[in-house]
Amino acid sequence: MKVILSPSWELSTEHPACTFGQTVLVNRDTGQAYSPGNMVQVNERMRPMLALLAVRKLAQAAELDTAQRELVARFVGTVPPR
């Protein structure tokens, strides 16, 4: 499953870096995958942060259905508030 969070970022359980169904954050431009504890820089205006915090921020701005919110929850540990 893939969840598009922004033009440059997605959550995926289909990326080769996924093991045992673990969800990863994927940079859609480079294909680089990140686990929740990895540091990422979402864009030039934001400082680097943990991938789980980046996903939380990106998910708040995205229109997500129930299944997509569940995938976000698997990555960050909770469903981000709307």
> Tell me: the pLDDT tens digits for 5-36?
999 999 999 998 887 778 999 999 999 999 99
Quick one: angle between helices 51-61 and 66-76, nearest 10?
A: 160
Half-sphere CA count of 39, side-chain side, radius 13 A: 4
Q: Which two tokens stand for residue 78?
A: 């909770």
> Tell me: the pLDDT tens digits for 31-73?
999 999 999 999 889 899 999 999 999 999 999 999 999 999 9
Q: According to the model, what pLDDT value does residue 79 have?
A: 47
pTM to 2 decimal places = 0.88
pLDDT band at residue 78 using 50, 70 and 90 as cut-offs: low
